[in-house]
Amino acid sequence: MIDPKKDLHRLKDSKEYKEWIATHKESYLSDFFCILDKESSDDNIWQIDYYNPSNDTMTSFELPADKRKKCKLKEKESKVFKPEADKVNELILEKIKLNDKEVMDIAKEVLKEKHPGEQAIKTILILQHNRELDVPIWNLTFMTTGLNMFNAKIEPSSGKVLESSLKSAMSLKKEMLPGTKKDSKPTAS
């Protein structure tokens, strides 16, 4: 389990972070990210990203959920995959009240209620400031037993589900392949 406010302090107390931030003072917290695929939640690794607006790059730290393990600098100043004009918003943790487990429990209830035949088998969690909604959100995606992707956007202070949807994993593949339309098959060039 990760508590963003408490675990951010853990990162900021680390030698790796202190050395990095000394020369990157303009960088700010962008998001928390994790693919939960381990048996024990303590085995999962969270990625905490900091955005540098002066050179449009992201620096990532790894923070093990297991509090006994140290964090480390994962990737320094990597390019950000976004349209050039888009801004990466700062994630402000003041109003974040729910941890990852609480958010997953809420999303599992919505999945069970709206799609009773589906069960989560893998989870992707992102805590970020959503540009369209202009609020911090937990953005959670479950890969399900029916090979579907269930996505829920959850308000991190109240637990209110702002959006939820279920899509076939195969339809997502079509959307991502260049030159394809919703009902067409990919063509070779």
The domain in which residue 60 lies consists of 4-79
Residue by residue, pLDDT tens for the chain (189 residues) are: 778 888 899 999 999 999 999 999 999 999 999 988 655 555 678 999 999 999 999 999 999 877 888 889 998 888 887 777 788 999 999 989 999 999 999 999 999 999 999 999 899 999 999 988 889 999 999 999 899 999 999 999 999 999 999 998 777 555 545 554 544 444 343
In a shared domain, residues 25 and 73: yes
| CB contact at 8 A, 130 and 137 | yes
The H or E element spanning position 9 is helix 4-12
Assess if residue 88 is contained within a domain: no
Burial (CB < 10 A; 0-12, 13-18, 19+), residue 189, is: exposed
Q: How many domains are there within the chain? A: 2
In a shared domain, residues 75 and 107: no
Q: What are phi and psi of 126, to 5 degrees?
A: -135, 130
Assess if residue 181 is contained within a domain: no
pTM: 0.83
CATH code where residue 170 lies:
3.10.450
Following CA atoms 91, 10, 32, 42 in sequence, which dihedral angle do they give, to the nearest 10 degrees? -150
Assess if residue 144 is contained within a domain: yes
In a shared domain, residues 172 and 104: yes
